[in-house]
Amino acid sequence: MSKLRHLFNISYCRYYSIQQAKKKLPIISCKRPEYNHYEGQTYRKFDGIKLASQGWLSSKSKNDHFTIYYDANKKEEKEVYRKSFEEIGVCNELSEIMIAQGFELPTLIQTKAIPSILEGYNSVITAETGCGKTLAYLLPIFQHILEWKPHMKEEFNSPLAVVLTPSRELASQIGQVAENIAQSFNINVTTLIGGKTKQKILNPPIEYSDILITTLGAYSKLVTTGILKVHNVHHVVLDEADTLLDDSFIGKVENLLKKFGIQYKVQIQSPPVGCQLTLVSATMPHELPEAVNSFVDPQSLRTIMTSNIHKLLPHVPQKFLRLGKAQKPMELLKLVQADVNQKRPVMIFSNKTSTCDFVSMFLNENNIQCVNINGQMAVPLKQGKFELYNNGSVNVLSCTDIASRGLDTIRTRHIINYDFPLYIADYIHRCGRTGRIGSTNDCTVTNFVAWPREINIVQKIETSVRKGIDLPNVNANIRRQIEDRIARMTGAGI
């Protein structure tokens, strides 16, 4: 009898906890409500987790869907004290510029990162997309240069700080942010991207630059040829560091950064002694590659992060829609037409250039003005098309992952993954093009899920949300993942 009573108590407690959870709005809302998931809901170890996407490998599951949205459960929060820019060490001149630009208080990652960089520490800054990481390192750099410059001899082609990026688009964007700050000071900002590197080698420029924002490839060539000097560089930033440290770039990064003599901690004085390193990204591998040891002492790196890294955006509803391949074009047309009618800017991501081109052509043929950008386009053409979207001339952009990292497109209110990304890091970065600081509150993400490999990734995402854990395998080292996958397939005789 006591054993039956014990089992009854367990069952009752479990039933009661589920009922209490269901009083809140679901975090996962499904087409079939019995698969909804609520805040505080747990799963018994041996029962397994019932996924809304469990049967999606079957063709009978077409048109099934579920939505993940955390903020539906958000309660009224009491006003929490937030530090001002001055309180975290930012000088009055820079604080006033931030307020003039509409930034009254620093964001969480800025509050955490700025003091560390100001004190001269090598730092790893990891935080969710769209939360203000660029200013988190630019403000300390500007402040240091304001202190140092009066005490240093000006030399041409010899910057004091270098920001390295993997893409021209990101370099151009960071350059614009830096120039908006620099125009109030006697600080020179230069943006250098590829495309005219040979011309600069043949006809070397004579430029006085304090902050250089550049792509890795262009900068490496000009340093190697001796046109750009490194002896005065006291700040090196790797923006989108997870990409720059993957197998595609790490060799070039290693050879370049060995030239800077990065210190354990820079002596903040005028003039300064040493060079400090800052690594920045929304996704970062748990362990940095061993090659990093060749240019910085890993023990010197301060890790600064927020609690939302490697998680889905909590404030943006994300719908996962199971479709057949043939259904995707018409579903896309329906969604984009609704966006156009409501004047909602939308970015449509595809995995391949050919699909990206098809999406643009298909929408234009159906009287929806759409521009497209991909990595195979000439640089001027690509920049011009993105600017058409960014300045509001066009509200529909078809793109590949060339547009998924770092680009600050606060106009975007809807992300459509026409092809679901094949890597979870890419999903995080794509979704991060909406719901950014300064965006409106009605941003959404819609995912088309059609192929078995896509379904497998969706199931991993859904499982992590139901378990309340970080997303798995958030690793931007795509080249390594592809090689590992091929090796596993070869080993299995596939």
Q: Which amino acid is at 376?
A: Q
* Residue with token string 């955390």: 70
53/166 Cα distance (integer angstroms): 35
Confidence (pLDDT) at 476: 52
225/200 Cα distance (integer angstroms): 10
The pairing of beta strand 301-305 with beta strand 414-417? unpaired
Confidence (pLDDT) at 311: 84
For 405, the token pair is 């990292």
Q: Which amino acid is at 264?
A: Y
Let me know: does 210 contact 160? Beta carbons within 8 Å. Answer: yes
Confidence (pLDDT) at 200: 67
Confidence (pLDDT) at 207: 82
How far out from the chain centre does Cα 5 lie? 52
The angle at the Cα of 160, spanning 235 to 270, to the nearest 5 degrees, equals: 90
pLDDT along the chain (494 residues), means of 10: 50 47 79 93 83 94 96 57 91 95 92 96 91 95 94 89 91 93 93 73 77 93 91 95 89 93 86 92 82 91 88 91 97 98 96 96 97 81 82 94 77 96 92 82 94 96 93 65 45 47
What is the location of CATH 3.40.50.300 in the chain?
23-74+311-473, 86-305
Confidence (pLDDT) at 112: 95
List b or e across 27-39, with b for residues whose CB sees 16 or more CB atoms inside 10 angstroms: bbbbeeeebbbbe
DSSP string, 427-469: HHHHHTTSS-TT--S--EEEEEE-SHHHHHHHHHHHHHHHHT-
* Residue with token string 């709005």: 25
How many CB atoms neighbour CB 235 within 10 A? 25
Q: Which of 312, 291, 260, 285 is nearest to 71 (CA)?
A: 312
For 146, the token pair is 């304001």
Confidence (pLDDT) at 169: 82
The structure's pTM equals: 0.81
Confidence (pLDDT) at 320: 98
Fold of 23-74+311-473: Rossmann fold (3.40.50)
Can you identify the CATH homologous superfamily of domain 86-305?
P-loop containing nucleotide triphosphate hydrolases (3.40.50.300)
H or E element in which residue 223 lies: helix 216-224
